[in-house]
Amino acid sequence: VLETRPPPQQAREGRRSSLASDDFAGFKDAAPSLEANVLEATDEQAVMVDTAAMQWIAEAIKASGEANEVFRKLFKRPISNNPLVAFKAVCLVHYLIIHGPPDFWLLALRQDKFLEWVQSSWSREAIAGGGAGSAHPKAARFSGGEIAFFAAFLRM
């Protein structure tokens, strides 16, 4: 007999198991939840990316049409100081290009300054040269410039 577990989003306290567009009526009401989910998706812990939070964000911006809010929240994160936050932020942008609203990729292209900031903060040269984030204990895990390459790929 196999034991079945509820999906991660049902297991979390306070999170609904289904996402309906009614949940996002009035985007201003959803703004604190959007911020909380962006924080979850880009947390500083060395654990897997929170796909439930990313799915919630994708559904929220599809329903609200306010995809710019995601980048506003990401600009507030310690991306230049923490490689895990930077990597998860780029993963979130990539996820939203694929699963978000159809025009999110155009918005991502217009947010070139954000992706350039991530790329320059976590390039191989920036880490080796003692950039702002190079002092982070986990910076060596990305010393090959992987975060910068990922950001550059999304800038194409």
pLDDT band at 89 (very low <50, low <70, confident <90, very high): very high
Q: What is the pLDDT of residue 29?
A: 52
Average pLDDT over residues 49-69: 91
pLDDT band at 97 (very low <50, low <70, confident <90, very high): very high
Rounded CA separation 88/121 (Å) = 14
Tokens standing for residue 41:
């998706």
**For residue 106, pLDDT beyond 50:** yes
| Per-state percent for the chain, helix, strand, coil, to nearest 5 | 65, 0, 35
26: left (phi over 0), alpha (psi -120 to 50) or beta: left
Average pLDDT over residues 59-67: 90
**For residue 35, pLDDT beyond 80:** yes
Over the chain, what is the mean pLDDT?
79
Average pLDDT over residues 70-89: 91
**For residue 16, pLDDT beyond 50:** no
Which DSSP category does 111 fall into?
A: T
Average pLDDT over residues 107-116: 90
Rounded CA separation 42/107 (Å) = 19
**For residue 138, pLDDT beyond 90:** no
Q: What whole-number percentage of the chain has pLDDT above 90?
A: 31
Rounded CA separation 62/58 (Å) = 6
Average pLDDT over residues 133-144: 72
pLDDT band at 6 (very low <50, low <70, confident <90, very high): very low
Higher pLDDT, 130 or 79: 79
CA angle 147, 49, 11 (to 5 degrees): 175
Distances 23 to 13, 28, 30, 109 between C-alpha atoms, Å: 17, 12, 8, 28
pLDDT band at 133 (very low <50, low <70, confident <90, very high): low
